[in-house]
């Protein structure tokens, strides 16, 4: 599949912009469980697979604490294996508890995503039948150091 400048797969269903962090944090655990369901693997390979699947570049500082939590909960086991001409790697394997978590959370996530899609689709349909475009949504706020006086003033005006 072709990629864009950020190495994210380019397809009609995957946006070029990075996914909002809040979305990734909510979906990451079930997606990591799904990747581990493909077979034992190590951290870097998990991040590569998540990127191939369209989730973008998941940083080690996000992935490794999640893997530690999964290990503590019994959802994965860990095994050190020698590297091919390099350092050893920590391999993660999904356990029965992890497969149960994947089934339960995967079903719940699918329902949640379908509900969210229905809400957004209904709103778009209301706007389409009214002959107007759907609202673009709020712009991301500028980082604090880059806010202009107009941005700061508007922020103050909205406060009660």
In a domain, 57, yes or no: yes
In a domain, 142, yes or no: no
**How many structural domains comprise the chain?**
1
End-to-end CA distance of the chain, in Å?
A: 49
| Cα–chain center distance at 61 | 14
Give the pTM.
0.70
In a domain, 146, yes or no: no
In a domain, 11, yes or no: yes
In a domain, 154, yes or no: no
How far is Cα 33 from Cα 95, in angstroms, rounded to an integer?
10
Core vs surface per residue 67-85: b (16+ CB within 10 A) or e = beebbeeebbeeeeeeeee
- CATH of residue 61's domain is 1.10.10.10
Gyration radius (Cα) of the chain, Å: 20
Answer yes or no: is pLDDT of 16 > 60: no
Domain with 16, as residue range(s), is: 1-130
How far is Cα 54 from Cα 121, in angstroms, rounded to an integer?
22
In a domain, 148, yes or no: no
Per-residue pLDDT tens over the stretch 49-91:
999 999 999 999 999 999 999 999 999 999 999 988 888 899 9
In a domain, 63, yes or no: yes
In a domain, 27, yes or no: yes
Q: What percent of the chain has pLDDT over 70?
A: 71
Answer yes or no: is pLDDT of 126 > 80: yes
Q: Angle formed by the axes of helices 21-36 and 60-73, to 10°?
A: 50
């Amino acid at each position: 599949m072709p990629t864009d400048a950020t190495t994210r797969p380019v397809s009609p269903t995957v946006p070029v912009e990075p996914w909002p962090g809040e979305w990734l944090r909510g979906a990451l655990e079930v997606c990591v469980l799904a990747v581990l369901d493909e077979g034992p693997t190590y951290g870097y390979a998990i991040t590569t697979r998540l990127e191939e699947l369209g989730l973008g570049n998941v940083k080690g500082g996000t992935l490794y604490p999640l893997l530690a939590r999964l290990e503590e909960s019994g959802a994965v086991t860990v095994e050190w294996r020698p590297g091919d001409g390099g350092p050893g790697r920590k391999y993660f394997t999904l356990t029965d508890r992890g497969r149960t978590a994947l089934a339960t959370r995967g079903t719940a996530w699918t329902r949640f995503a379908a509900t969210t899609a229905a809400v957004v689709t209904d709103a778009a349909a209301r706007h389409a039948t009214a002959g107007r475009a759907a609202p673009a949504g709020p712009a991301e706020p500028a980082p604090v150091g880059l806010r202009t006086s107009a941005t700061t003033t508007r922020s103050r005006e909205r406060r009660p």
